Structure 1
Amino acid sequence: MELRHLQHFVAVAEDQHFTRAAERLMVSQSGLSASIRALERELRAPLFVRTTRRVTLTEAGRALLGEAERILAQVRAAHEAVAAVQGVLRGTLALGTEQCIPGVHVAGLLATFRRRHPDVEIRLRQAGSGALAEEVAAGRLDLAFAYRTQADTDQLRSMPLTSESMTVLCHPDHRLASRGAVLTPEDLGGEVFVDFHPDWGPRRTTDAAFSAAGVRRTVALEVNDVHSLLDLVDENLGIAVVPRHFRHKRPSLTALPLKTATGPEYETVALLPPERATGPAARALITLLDVEGLASPPP
C-alpha cells in the first residue's frame, strides 16, 4: 500500500468528488481514479459508491478513512520531527478551538508562535468540543482547545487548562434578577433558555447538571456564537447558563451563581493525539502555554 494511494483516498473522501479532489491534489482525474482502483484491488473491497454528481464512502471506505487519516498524520509528524532535529520547525500546525475558551489566550498564543516559528503554516478551525475531539483523534487536527468531553483513550489525551463554575445570565428586568441569590436548577424550571448547539462545552455542562437534578429545561433559542447568545438574553428573550467568565462580556446583564449537586464545573483542556503521534509544532505550541504565561486570556 503506497502513501499516495491513501492521500488520494482521503482527498476524495473529503471532497466527495473526483474532479475537485484531483484539482486540489494537482493530479489528473484519470490518474486519481487509477490510484483509487489500485487501492480497492489491494484491499479487495470497493471504497466508494460513485454517482454522476458525487461519491460516498462504502462501509469499507468508512472503516479505512479513520486509519488512513491517522497514518498520514503520523507520517507528517515524522517529517516534521526530522526537520526539528535539523534546527528548523516547518510544516503545518492545524489547531482547533471552541469560541471564547477559558484557560488560553488563543490569539496571543498564535501570534507568539508565529514570531518564533515563521516557517510553520497555521490553520485554525472553530467548532464544538465533540467534533474537535473526533478530529484530533482522527489526525485531522494536531491539537485543540476544548471542553473535556471524555476520558483519555489510546487515540486522544488531554492536558488540563482550567475549570470554572457556571453562571446564570438574565436581563435586569427578569424576575430572577431581583433575587440576587444563588440559584439551583429547580429555581429555573419552566424558564425559556438561550443556549449553544449540543456539541458545545457549555451546553454539555448545563445539560448534564440539569439532567442530574431531574429538571427538564426548554432550549427555545439555539445559537452557534457567543455574541448572538448575549444579544438574545439582552433582549429578555430567555436566560442562559454559561461559564462564569462570560459575565464580563456583557456587564449590562445580571449574573447569578448556579449551584448543583455536581458543581457544575466547566473544565477545559488541550486535546492531543498520543505522545508518539504529536508533532513538533504542537509540542512547541503547548510549551508556549507555560513558558510565555499564555495559558489565560488577558483581564
Structure 2
Amino acid sequence: MELRHLQHFVAVAEDQHFTRAAERLMVSQSGLSASIRALERELQTPLFVRTTRRVTLTQAGRALLGEAERILAQVRAAHEAVAAVQGVLRGTLSLGTEQCIAGLHVAGLLAAFRRRHPDVEIRLRQAGAGALAEEVAAGRLDLAFAYRTQADSDQLRSVSLTSEPMTVLCHASHPLSVAGATVAPADLADEVFVDFQPDFGPRRATDAAFARAGVRRTVSLEVNDVHSLLDLVGENLGVAVVPRHFRYKRASLTALDLKDGGEPVYESAALLPPPQATSPAARALMALLESGGA
C-alpha cells in the first residue's frame, strides 16, 4: 500500500467525484482511477460505489477513511518534525475553533504565531464542538479550541482552557428581568428559547443542564452565530442560555444567574491528537498559548 494510493483515496472520498479529485490533485483522471483500483485489489474489496454523477463510500471504504486520514496526518507530522529539527518550522497549521471561546483571542494568538513562524501556512475552520472533535481525531485538523464534549481517548486528548458558569440573557422588559437575579431551569420551562445549533458547545452545555433538571425545552429560534443570537434576544423574541462572558457583548440585555442544583458550566479546551501524532506547528501554538505570548 503506497501513500499516494491513500492520498488519492481520501481526495475522492472528500470530493465524491473522480474528476474533481483529479483536478485538485493535479493528476490525470485515468491515473487516479488506476490508483484506486490498485488499492481495491490490494484490499480485495470495493471502496466506492460508482454512479454517473458521484461516488460514495462502501462500508469498507468508510472503515478505511478514518485510518487513511490518520496515517496521512502522521506522515505530515513526521515531515514537519524533521523540518523543525533543522531549525525552521514549516508546513501547515490546520486549526478549528468555536465562536467566542472565553479567555482566548484566537485572532491575536494566530497573529503572534505568524510573527514567530512565518513559514507555516495557517488554515482556520469554524464549526461546532462535535464536528471539530471528529476532525481532530481523524487527523483533518491539527487542533481545535472548543467545548469539551467527551473524555480523552486514544485518538483525542484535551487541555483545559477555561471554565465558566452559564447565564440567562433576556430583554430588559422581560418579566424575569431583574439584574443579578437567579433562576432555575424550571423557571424557564415556558419560555421561547434562542440558541445555537445542537453541535455547538453552549447548546450542549445548556441541553445538559436542562436534562439534569428534568425540564424539557424547545428551541424555537436556532442560529449559528453569536451576533444573531444577541440580536434576537435584543428584540425580545426569546431568552438565551449562554456562557457568562456573553453578557458583556450586549450591555442592554439583562443577565440572570442559572442554577440547576449545582452550577451549569461551560468548559472549553484545546482538542489535540495523541502526543505522538501532534504536529510541531500544533505544539508550537500550544506553547505560545501556555506562555501567554499572544
Q: Given the two structures, how large is their TM-score scaled by the length of structure 2? A: 0.99
Asked if structure 2 preserves the Cα contact closer than 8 Å seen for 1:144 and 1:270, the reply is: yes
C-alpha deviation, 1:233, in angstroms: 0.3
Supply the distance in 2 between the matched residues of 1:6 and 1:261 (Cα, whole angstroms): 51
- For 1:164, the equivalent position in structure 2 comes to 164
List per-residue Cα deviations over 1:145-200 (Å, max 9, x = no partner): 00000000000000000100000000001111047521111111110000000100
Supply the distance in 1 between the matched residues of 2:224 and 2:181 (Cα, whole angstroms): 29
Asked if structure 1 preserves the Cα contact closer than 8 Å seen for 2:95 and 2:122, the reply is: yes
The change in CA–CA distance for 1:266 and 1:289 in structure 2 (over 3 A counts) is: same
Supply the distance in 2 between the matched residues of 1:293 and 1:111 (Cα, whole angstroms): 11
Supply the distance in 1 between the matched residues of 2:262 and 2:47 (Cα, whole angstroms): 45
- For 2:191, the equivalent position in structure 1 comes to 191
- For 2:260, the equivalent position in structure 1 comes to 260
Supply the distance in 1 between the matched residues of 2:230 and 2:141 (Cα, whole angstroms): 30
Matches within 5 A, 1:96-245: 96-178=96-178, 180-245=180-245
List per-residue Cα deviations over 1:2-45 (Å, max 9, x = no partner): 00000000000000000000000000000000000000000000
Quick one: which amino acid aligns to residue 30 of structure 2? S
Quick one: which amino acid aligns to residue 207 of structure 1? D
5+ residue gaps, structure 2, are: none
Report the secondary structure of 1:245's partner residue: helix
C-alpha deviation, 1:287, in angstroms: 0.4
- For 2:282, the equivalent position in structure 1 comes to 282
- For 2:4, the equivalent position in structure 1 comes to 4
C-alpha deviation, 1:261, in angstroms: 2.1
List per-residue Cα deviations over 1:202-256 (Å, max 9, x = no partner): 0000000001101111100000000000000001000000000001111111111
Identity of aligned residues (%): 83
C-alpha deviation, 1:292, in angstroms: 2.9
Deviates more, 1:134-143 or 1:169-178: 169-178
C-alpha deviation, 1:102, in angstroms: 1.1
- For 2:47, the equivalent position in structure 1 comes to 47
- For 2:247, the equivalent position in structure 1 comes to 247
Q: Given the two structures, how large is their TM-score scaled by the length of structure 1? A: 0.97
C-alpha deviation, 1:263, in angstroms: 1.9
Asked if structure 2 preserves the Cα contact closer than 8 Å seen for 1:190 and 1:218, the reply is: no
Quick one: which amino acid aligns to residue 249 of structure 1? K
Quick one: which amino acid aligns to residue 84 of structure 1? A
Supply the distance in 1 between the matched residues of 2:57 and 2:261 (Cα, whole angstroms): 45
- For 2:292, the equivalent position in structure 1 comes to 292
Instruction: Give the total of aligned pairs.
Output: 294
Runs of 4+ in 1 over 4 A off after TM superposition: none
List per-residue Cα deviations over 1:61-107 (Å, max 9, x = no partner): 00000000000000000000000000000000000000111132100
Quick one: which amino acid aligns to residue 50 of structure 1? R
Quick one: which amino acid aligns to residue 22 of structure 2? A
Supply the distance in 1 between the matched residues of 2:219 and 2:184 (Cα, whole angstroms): 17
Root mean square deviation, CA, Å: 0.9
Supply the distance in 2 between the matched residues of 1:178 and 1:288 (Cα, whole angstroms): 41
Supply the distance in 2 between the matched residues of 1:42 and 1:262 (Cα, whole angstroms): 56
Supply the distance in 1 between the matched residues of 2:277 and 2:290 (Cα, whole angstroms): 21
Asked if structure 2 preserves the Cα contact closer than 8 Å seen for 1:152 and 1:158, the reply is: yes
Asked if structure 2 preserves the Cα contact closer than 8 Å seen for 1:46 and 1:61, the reply is: yes
- For 1:19, the equivalent position in structure 2 comes to 19
Supply the distance in 1 between the matched residues of 2:41 and 2:262 (Cα, whole angstroms): 53
Supply the distance in 2 between the matched residues of 1:58 and 1:275 (Cα, whole angstroms): 31
